[in-house]
Amino acid sequence: MSPDRSQTAYAASAADLAVRALDALRGIEGTAMVAEHVERADDPKAALAAIRVVGADAFAPYVLADAAFHPQDAAAVTQSFALFPPPVTTPDPPPAGAAEPWLVAWRDWAMATLLARLTGTEADGVLAPRPTGAPVLTDDTVLTSPERPSAPDDSTPSDTDWQRWSVRMGQLSPLALPGLEGPVHTAARAAPLALARGATRAVLRRDFPTAARITRWLALLAAEGARIPLDPVPLLEHLRLHGGGPRLALDVAIARRLLALETA
């Protein structure tokens, strides 16, 4: 299989697993959802890769709903780590290191940590060690301003700190689940206004996947009782009605479940 065909197969398999996770979150999927995804796949390698792509969000039905975690799912996740092992040492956070390996390391840690907590058989970080550092936000105005976010002016520079930071936090959205805790969560709690501005900007730019990912952090903060400068409910409704594929739908459903807007 050519590299392009491999990437296409991986993306299609990840979309299929996102649909299964979404159905399970809504209570319409059977047991051993992750294992079934692998067993029924025409390309088991692509199916195992998809587990790593969807990451911790494959566990959303188990940490947000009443779905029972099945040992076969644990075996499938462990197999995906065996076939695609993470680096032995964690990458340096940007700017000292490249962004993508560091993001992948955090997402792998989130999945490994939730697997450990769901099975009670492994210590945190055994399959994937916890990386160091969190996205750094140096623009103090988005930390202290009490105002609600306004639409960004198109004439302002597009490469400001809060914009880069909010996108990076969106890339770490699989960490926005109960049962996970670390410096990324501390960074989110310290800058709700930056998250709100980032979500608003993404919607105005019609980058709905990014908007949904950032809004998950706002939903998690709201679920924790934090005051946030943007009501995520109408934003999620807009994103839900707009559509945009199974991955976006899963992000929206997770955020709505965090806000207790959906029940199975």
How far is the C-alpha of 109 from the C-alpha of 182, rounded, in Å?
11
154: confidence class by pLDDT, cuts 50, 70, 90 = very low
Residue 155: predicted pLDDT: 31
Q: Which two tokens stand for residue 85?
A: 């092992």
Task: Show me where the domains of the chain are located.
Answer: 1-125, 134-264
75: confidence class by pLDDT, cuts 50, 70, 90 = very high
Say whether pLDDT at 91 is over 80: yes
Residue 242: predicted pLDDT: 82
Say whether pLDDT at 158 is over 90: no
How far is the C-alpha of 202 from the C-alpha of 214, rounded, in Å?
9
Say whether pLDDT at 145 is over 60: no
147: confidence class by pLDDT, cuts 50, 70, 90 = very low
Mean pLDDT to the nearest integer, 137-153: 52
Could you report the per-residue pLDDT of 192-216, keeping only the tens digit for each?
999 999 999 999 999 999 999 999 9
Residue 3: predicted pLDDT: 53
Mean pLDDT to the nearest integer, 244-250: 92
Top-confidence residue, 191 or 123: 191
Reference 20, options 51, 49, 45, 66; nearest CA is: 51
Q: Which two tokens stand for residue 50?
A: 């998809």
Backbone angles phi, psi at 226, to 5 degrees: -75, 150
Residue 96, Ramachandran bin (φ over 0: left; ψ between -120 and 50: alpha; else beta): alpha
152: confidence class by pLDDT, cuts 50, 70, 90 = very low
Residue 65: predicted pLDDT: 86
Per the document, the length of the chain is 264
Say whether pLDDT at 150 is over 80: no
How far is the C-alpha of 54 from the C-alpha of 234, rounded, in Å?
26
Could you report the per-residue pLDDT of 107-129, keeping only the tens digit for each?
999 999 999 999 987 665 668 88
How far is the C-alpha of 203 from the C-alpha of 28, rounded, in Å?
30
Residue 32, Ramachandran bin (φ over 0: left; ψ between -120 and 50: alpha; else beta): left
Percent helix, strand, coil in the chain, to 5, is 60, 0, 40
Residue 1: predicted pLDDT: 43
Reference 176, options 206, 199, 152, 144; nearest CA is: 199
For the chain, the distance separating the N- and C-terminal CA atoms, rounded to the nearest angstrom, is 40
Dihedral angle over CA of 129, 17, 209, 185, nearest 10: -30
DSSP conformation class of 8: H
* Single-letter amino acid code for the residue at 54: V
How far is the C-alpha of 46 from the C-alpha of 42, rounded, in Å?
9
